[in-house]
Amino acid sequence: MDNTTERNWIEYSGKPSTRSRVIKRIIRLGSRMTRNKSLEEARTVWESFAGGRKVPLGFEVNSIDIDGVECEWIIPKADKGEKTLIYLHGGGYVTGTLSTARGFAIQVSKYTSQRVLTVGYRLAPENPFPAALEDSLAVYHSFIQQVVNANDIVLIGDSAGGGLALATVLSLKENGEALPGAVVCISPWTDLAATGESNTKNAKIDPIFGQVEYLIKPENYADTESLFNPLISPLYGDYSDFPPLLIHVGTDEVILDDSIRLAEKAREAGVKVSLKVWRGMWHVFTTQNDILTEGKQSLKEISEFINRCS
């Protein structure tokens, strides 16, 4: 019995689809393309995966500079205009661009019928902590200064972006500022100190994170700061008075325990937290929703959560 069945407050999916097993093998092969490559070479490979994708009909993509931070608006034709979704992409704080994030941002916009702002925060090791956090906060503050109701803002992040979304709210809370209406985390990286059992237990089965551990080094982002700093590893933060939180994660993830322990801590602090663990799924599987049934269902449930938040 795995640890997801020992806690009755955790929702978990049924058995993985046959198709997902095939896709997992393909993803593992694709991840191996970055093996033994330098960080710059890996960045080029991942950027090439995103290249050439056309913006689908019904969406408008606009570049924008927000207080010196390069961002991108994804605006659906059928924009409800009810919320502002701020998306913080993953990539271990060392990879990821507006281009690589665009495809998933469009899917989030499609499922929610809301506009999505993708934040092109600065990357490590060239710009270590607190650069990414400063950029995220700058963008958030810009909206608040525009008299946007904080409760109408939803922060969404996957992997490192999930950790960054949590750190952003922890920083806002620490400074007594208005908090967003909700936070959505997909496979969030919350413990850069890697103290969870899944960091070793799932190292060989996670087809994404398990293949790039030589590139995704916590020290690249933390630099000389402690890995237990809550603004670097949000697992160690104070979650009292935190906004509603939704977390989706897969059982085959290296950082599965980052989600389970975070949800436990938030729940104990009285946060309205929902955690769903997807059996047989890997790191940030939701972002493969265009080809994966479980990814589609995950994004559908995330969309429903966002649209329920008021």
CA angle 134, 138, 141 (to 5 degrees): 135
Locate all alpha helices (DSSP H) within the chain, ordered by sequence.
18-31, 39-50, 98-112, 131-145, 160-174, 198-201, 218-222, 256-268, 293-308
Residue 129 is encoded by which pair of tokens? Answer: 């902590």
159 a catalytic residue: yes
Question: Cβ(222)–Cβ(229) under 8 Å?
Answer: yes
Residue 224 is encoded by which pair of tokens? Answer: 């000389």
Neighbouring-strand partners of residue 184:
156, 246
How far apart are the two ends of the chain, measured CA to CA in Å? 37
Say which of 20, 31, 109, 253 is annotated catalytic.
Answer: 253
Residue recorded with tokens 């046959």: 18
* Neighbour-count burial of 228, counting CB atoms closer than 10 A to its CB (0-12 exposed, 13-18 middle, 19+ buried): middle
Say which of 283, 294, 298, 303 is annotated catalytic.
Answer: 283
Q: What are phi and psi of 101, to 5 degrees?
A: -85, -15
Residue 75 is encoded by which pair of tokens? Answer: 């605006």
3-class DSSP string for 280-293: CCCCCHHHHCCCCH
CA atoms within 13 A of residue 218's CA, in its CB half-sphere:
18
47 a catalytic residue: no
Residue 226 is encoded by which pair of tokens? Answer: 């402690």
Locate all alpha helices (DSSP H) within 60-192, ordered by sequence.
98-112, 131-145, 160-174
Amino acid at position 131, single letter? A
The catalytic residue positions are: 159, 253, 283
